[in-house]
């Protein structure tokens, strides 16, 4: 019986060893599978990060272009505002000149009327009735 118990002890040890190796292999297979899954996730994360970098770079370029355009539009708006103010000032000056010229014309009419009433009829007949070009010499 001793021999049988020795064989059976070796057999049990062999079975335990096979089970241990099988369990270790299963554990290693799970870890390798998990490693592949993690590598895949890492590759996906790196791909997403590169896409985000590309999008960020494009957005930065878009912001730079928009900033440049905004500056140009601001300069154009300032120029147009200055032109508008200059036109407004010119119009106000011209209106003031028109008012002044109308007042001078009214005064001249009053003076002509006054002088016409006090001078002889022959002088009045000789006065020009409309404006004409200066006589050439």
Task: Mention every residue, 6+ apart, whose C-beta is less than 8 A from residue 3.
Answer: none
**Given this model, what pLDDT does residue 10 score?**
75
**Given this model, what pLDDT does residue 17 score?**
87
Q: Domain residues of the chain, as ranges?
A: 2-116
- Looking at residue 127, the DSSP 8-state letter turns out to be S
Residue 2: pLDDT band by 50, 70, 90 thresholds?
very low
Mean pLDDT along residues 113-127: 75
Q: Find where tokens 């000149």 sit.
A: 97
C-alpha–C-alpha distance, residues 72 and 63, integer Å:
14
Mean pLDDT along residues 78-86: 97
Average pLDDT score over the chain: 86
Do 103 and 111 form a contact (C-beta atoms < 8 A)? no
Look up residue 67 and give its two tokens.
Answer: 């900033």
Is it the case that residue 65 has pLDDT exceeding 90? yes
Which has more pLDDT, 116 or 131? Answer: 116
Is it the case that residue 18 has pLDDT exceeding 60? yes
- Rounded to an integer, what is the distance from CA 51 to the centroid of its chain? 24
**Given this model, what pLDDT does residue 23 score?**
85
Statement: the pTM of the whole predicted model exceeds 0.85: no
């Amino acid at each position: 019986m001793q021999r049988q118990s020795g064989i059976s002890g070796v057999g049990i040890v062999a079975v335990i060893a096979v089970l241990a190796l099988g369990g270790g292999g299963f554990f290693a297979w799970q870890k390798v599978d998990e490693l592949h899954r993690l590598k895949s996730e890492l590759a996906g994360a790196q791909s997403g990060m590169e896409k985000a970098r590309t999008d960020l770079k494009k957005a930065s370029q878009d912001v730079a272009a928009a900033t440049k355009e905004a500056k140009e539009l601001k300069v154009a708006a300032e120029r147009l505002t200055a032109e508008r103010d200059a036109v407004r000032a010119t119009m106000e000056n011209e209106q003031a000149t028109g008012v002044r010229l109308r007042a001078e014309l009214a005064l001249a009419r009053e003076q002509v009327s006054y002088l016409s009433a006090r001078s002889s009829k022959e002088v009045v007949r000789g006065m020009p009735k409309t404006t004409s070009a200066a006589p050439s010499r």
